Structure 1
Amino acid sequence: MRQLVFVQNNQVITDSLTIAEMFGKEHKNVLRDITTQIEYAGPEFSQLNFEPSEYRVRGKQYLKFNLSEEAFALVVFSYNTKEAVQTKIKFIQEFKRMQEYIQKKEQSEHDPVELALQTSLKNYQEIKTIKGDVEFLKDHMRIDGAQEFALNSQGKSKVFEVLGGFNSSAYKAVSRKAFGELWRDFKRHFQLPRYSELPKTKFDDAVYFISKWRPSTSLEIEIESYNKQSQLKLVK
């Protein structure tokens, strides 16, 4: 397996080429993600945690970035497939292992008893940190394809219900408006740019939201109007 992290100037880092390879992404797309995070993070953080560098391929120089653990976490935060989360966990563990290696090397000349105590304490703290990182990743995983399909199907059923069925006059006239209003309300409620970015931990809340959703008053009046017109035609 490719070395995930390495030591440079006594600091543990990874680089954009390693991230691209391990997450199965094109390097240019990783560079784009890094550029976005540099813009968001601002110069003070970026200068300390993102280091422009170069690599050579067939005699030509190309841009890459070296990243600290904090910079790595920012860039890969949104990579949330099951495989990507497992890869992030490997990176986190490797950062911790390499940092421990550096610190042990620096402490090699210290008192053996003191060193043993410090190492034990550090190992305990690192285990707690890794567990916290893993829990954080789990809490921020997005819904998978099956859950997205389930929400989409429930949304369709809910719109069919409020419009009076697939064959109703209201469905033919305002179904697009109703679907748009449902998902707009959904995204506003959960503060999402797209409903597919819903965290897994919010899935049950999302199912409940759709079950309780009602169209706006103006749309509900439109639905009643179209369906009444249809009923009157049938009576005549």
Structure 2
Amino acid sequence: MLMTDLIPTHSNENGNLLVSGRDLHEFLEVKTEYRHWFPRMLEYGFAENVDFVAIVQKRPTAQGNETTYTDHHIKIEMAKEICMIQRNEKGKLARQYFLDLERKWNSPEMVIKRAHEFLERKVAALTTENLVLIQQNNELKPKASYYDMVLQNKSLLSVSKIAKDYGMSAIALNKKLYELGIQYKQGDIWLLYAKHQDKGYTQTTTHVIDADKSRVSTKWTQKGRLFIYDLLKREGILPVIERECEAS
């Protein structure tokens, strides 16, 4: 048997070499059952979550069921001391094995290798974090895209054009704004209630037809368009562009 094959080891995320308590118990050929032997080893001053961690595992039984048993992942430093306690040839061999592993583990080449692997894990974690941020940004993007579309447009809009944003008719949007206490109808035109009149949401213009006739019309500013957006959003009514993004 090669020295490197004596007892399986692994490392944790903190760069500590670990060995299974049960694997060590088996190699040392201890006659006492593991469940009695390991607590006895702890009497030498080893502390849980400092020198070792308890691992609860499941394994199949001969009857096809599952049974639960406890193993311990112990640091190499603790494993070396346990080997010394045994005072036999197996203990000496295992201790020498762990010393050899430590020398290799702490060699400049291995330190650099672990540092490189650590950086790779950090980069992978950052990449995952960036993907999450991108996803969150995409979830917020529909609102931003609608705002961008509004802010880029400086012209006045008829209510029918704003209604089109929501897949509604001008009649339906005017009715909704009336129900929400935003506007009222006077003759053929819709006017804002007093508390909204000085907000810059609309502009009323007069179109002269001839010397005796003229037509008054109310158009919405982009500020008014955003006011409608926030108002309807609170009512659960979204623009078509945002509904399509949510559906996808």
| TM-score, normalization by structure 1 | 0.38
Higher share in helix: 1
Q: Per chain length, whose mean CA-contact separation is higher, i.e. which structure has more relative contact order (CA < 8 Å, sep 6+)?
A: 1
| TM-score, normalization by structure 2 | 0.36
Higher share in strand: 2
